[in-house]
Structure 1
Amino acid sequence: MKINVLGTLSFVLLSPSPAFSCPDVQTDHIEQNRLYSELQMASNEMHGRAVGGQLWEIWVTAPDEKSQEFMDLGRERIRVADYERAEEIFDQLIDYCPNYAEGWNQRAFVRYLRQDYGNALEDITAALELEPRHFGALAGRATTLISMGRVKVGHAALRQALAIHPWLSERHLLPTGEDI
């Protein structure tokens, strides 16, 4: 019988302990506000995408080493399409660090990929309560609603995301000629 030692070890090491929780999520509001302003002023898609990428880097940087291990391992499981295991890892991240918006957003993405749209929307709501300008979560809400057949509501959610990040690739989901 072959045992996956690395997978078992990472599961044991990453299992949350009720005695420990992540530190408070520290947000550099000055830097994020600067980036959001720069995003609004971006004159072309390349610049807008670069600034958006800087915000993503902030979001995927977890509050401590343990939560970063969850984040990295969960994202790796997504990369190899192991969505069931990715969801389990993000469950652990959220249990350990419930005030970390990106944990909720990543689990929402996995649930979307698994076509678990109702639970994806719940996670998106939790992410947006923690980070209301999270254009990725807003775009995720839009694509989830559109996938559910709720196209008009999805387009409204997409317009909210585009008000924050006008260069999102999802902008092409709006009908041609429609104003953002």
Structure 2
Amino acid sequence: MGALRFNLNPVVALCLALSGPAMADPQNTARLDEMYEALKTAPAPEAERLGSEIRLETSKSGSPAMNLLLKRGRDAMATGNTGLAIELLSALTDHAPGFAEGWHARSVAFARAGLMGPAMTDLERALALDPRNFAAIYSLGALLEEIGQPALAYEAYTRVTKIHPHFDDVAEALARLEGETRGSDL
């Protein structure tokens, strides 16, 4: 039997070998709690700023090596290289299994590759680790819509609005699904 070969960039492999596990920062958690609370009632421009800050904070793993894997995985997705994205983000989830954004990012890559089962599994894991991750909940809604579950997608989008009422096009998604899920008046 031949040796198992990984197709990771040698720099990324070295970073993985030298890094420790990602750790949550208690001060960061308190700051996130405050931002999430403010987000619920913030007017649209302020909500957009707060939402961006929250997404930036939740994209920090606590490890430069893991942050690099997340960045490289996202960059690979941005260029349409979902295979490489899945590979990089799999390394991330293997080495930082407690980092919710790693699971969320890989779920997006799986969905783009048409692998809906693994995408759903990763979203489940991401939301178990961070139930307030409105971007992951939105991704869940989009995935549920994609697989023909409009009522469940509607529920997911509604949950997003309870956390971040002004997130992306969640209002449009709800309006689009309203007729499909709520019926019509006679």
TM-score if structure 1 supplies the norm length?
Answer: 0.86
Tell me how far 1:99 sits from its aligned partner: 0.3
Change (3 A) 1:155 1:64: same
Check conservation: 1:67, 1:97, Cα contact below 8 A: yes
Q: Partner residue of 2:31?
A: 31
The separation in 2 between residues aligned to 1:80 and 1:139, in whole angstroms, is: 22
Q: Partner residue of 2:122?
A: 123
Q: Does 1:98 align with 2:126?
A: no
Q: Does 1:57 align with 2:72?
A: no
* Divergent runs of 4+, >4 A: none
Q: Partner residue of 1:134?
A: 133
The separation in 2 between residues aligned to 1:11 and 1:38, in whole angstroms, is: 37
Q: Partner residue of 1:3?
A: none
Per-residue CA shift, 1:55-99, capped at 9, x if unaligned?
010011121111111111111111111111001000000110000
Change (3 A) 1:113 1:170: farther
Report the count of equivalent residues: 169
Cα RMSD for the two superposed structures: 2.0
Check conservation: 1:78, 1:86, Cα contact below 8 A: yes
Change (3 A) 1:176 1:98: closer
Change (3 A) 1:174 1:24: same
Change (3 A) 1:77 1:177: closer
Q: Within 5 Å, give how 1:58-77 maps onto structure 2.
A: 58-77=57-76
The separation in 2 between residues aligned to 1:10 and 1:78, in whole angstroms, is: 19
Per-residue CA shift, 1:13-49, capped at 9, x if unaligned?
35x45x9641423352221111111111212x22211
Amino acid at match of 2:77: I
Per-residue CA shift, 1:119-140, capped at 9, x if unaligned?
1111111011111101011101
The separation in 2 between residues aligned to 1:50 and 1:67, in whole angstroms, is: 25
The separation in 2 between residues aligned to 1:117 and 1:65, in whole angstroms, is: 30
The separation in 2 between residues aligned to 1:32 and 1:167, in whole angstroms, is: 18
Tell me how far 1:176 sits from its aligned partner: 5.9
SS of equivalent to 1:174: helix
| Unaligned ranges ≥5, structure 1 | 1-6
Change (3 A) 1:176 1:81: closer
Amino acid at match of 1:158: Y
Tell me how far 1:10 sits from its aligned partner: 3.5
